[in-house]
Structure 1
């Protein structure tokens, strides 16, 4: 069964005007989303009990997005365990991080990490807009390591971020599809050599329906700033498209 997830960056105007992330849960529910994806940069410790209470009240699943690399300076990033603790406080089993650069990576993962991702958490890693961390070769190499060690880490494929690293998203998804469990949907346009995210999935250089058709996923996240009205319209369209897959 498909899950449609609102990343809170979508309503960043409300966050900037004083809303907490917990206050976006009823809005996401009313818009037709099944889940909300909290962002670490907006997370307030005092808001965590409200998040847990409102998520239960509105039957809204919680995902947690952390702008932190899993691999840092050639080693496993021990800050993972800080994020795991916060995930537990948020009552979520969905944690997403970035990969990080694999240059000089020692290929060592702590036993505590392996235990955690086997029992406590569903961990995904995402491509960001950094050419060092998210170029296609780095991403493919990461999953060569993960697959060889049979580790339960999957890929959150951001549909537009590939443009920032000069890679065709269709080429990327064709190579990475077996590892993709989550699509972060957004589009982008290039105006006078400057890339920017658009406010609708239908506007931009990325063929979103084509990418959806090449992946066997159940999680669809909406991660672009827009209005409630436009996000709701895009959600209806994506629900219609995904019925075919």
Structure 2
């Protein structure tokens, strides 16, 4: 069975997206490159584009792409409560016919009752995935505690495992992969290079094997998404190159 590869629109850069007129303009590029799906980023919408989600949904369907909806917010707020805008975000994901909706974990407390989240998700059509972000909330200990606490409940549909974000958070990606692999249902792929006192996302390179070693520890049958810079005069060609690479890696 062919491995699914998605493209995160943010990979093309916010300036390029704005220049093109929004994320919808990238759909022909992503489809022509042979990708199976697209990750739509909420933070890249302006107010007008948020009102035009039905048109975007129709364009995604016409391009025969599967949609993932990324919300740049925490699932659990600073006081441990669920994000108060879940209804709004899930409604938007529903309009887009998204397969998944993605949040960062946020301020989950290991001893808190998860029934409210479980009951909420039982009423939704869109599946929730939780990502390791680049903050302290995205540390391995926090994600491990959340999924360990879920046990067999499967409170959410699993984890978005970002191969590069662990380095921002200060955790080893290989250890994270070993401990969390059974929870992973979607993968963000990026290589990472040192930049000053921090890191920057870069395209996978044969000289850097960490991304391959990490992928090898993760489920082989879940979608992989490009979340590293896609640049060049021929965006279809550069996108196709990396779609093929992630499909075969």
Q: TM-score, normalised by structure 2?
A: 0.87
The separation in 1 between residues aligned to 2:154 and 2:16, in whole angstroms, is: 41
Q: Over aligned residues, Cα RMSD in angstroms?
A: 2.0
- 1:1-245 paired onto structure 2 within 5 Å: 1=1, 2-12=3-13, 13-43=15-45, 44-72=49-77, 73-103=79-109, 106-110=112-116, 112-117=119-124, 120-131=125-136, 133-198=137-202, 200-202=203-205, 207-216=210-219, 217-227=221-231, 228=235, 229-241=237-249
> Following TM superposition, by how much is the alpha carbon of 1:176 offset from its aligned partner in structure 2, in angstroms?
0.5
- Seen in structure 2, the aligned counterparts of structure 1 residues 167 and 82 have a Cα distance that, compared at 3 Å, is same
8 A Cα contact 2:73 2:103, kept in partner: yes
How far off its partner does 1:206 sit? 5.9
Shift of the alpha carbon at 1:103?
4.2
SS of the equivalent of 1:92 reads coil
Tell me the distance in 2 between the aligned counterparts of 1:108 and 1:84: 18
Aligned residues: 237
Q: Aligned in 2, Cα 1:192/1:52: closer, same or farther, shift over 3 Å?
A: closer
Alpha-carbon contact 1:188-1:204 (below 8 Å) kept: no
Unpaired runs of 5+ residues, structure 2, are none
With over 3 angstroms needed to count, the CA separation of the structure-2 counterparts of 1:150 and 1:63, relative to structure 1, is closer
> Take 1:150 and 1:65, find their aligned partners in 2: how far apart are those partners?
20
- Give TM-score scaled by structure 1 length: 0.89
Report the Cα distance in structure 1 between the residues aligned to 2:110 and 2:177, rounded to whole angstroms: 26
Worse-superposed segment, 31-40 or 221-230:
221-230
Distance (whole Å) between structure 1 residues aligned to residue 26 and residue 54 of structure 2: 14
Structure 1 residues 26 and 138, CA, compared in 2 at 3 Å: closer, same or farther?
A: same
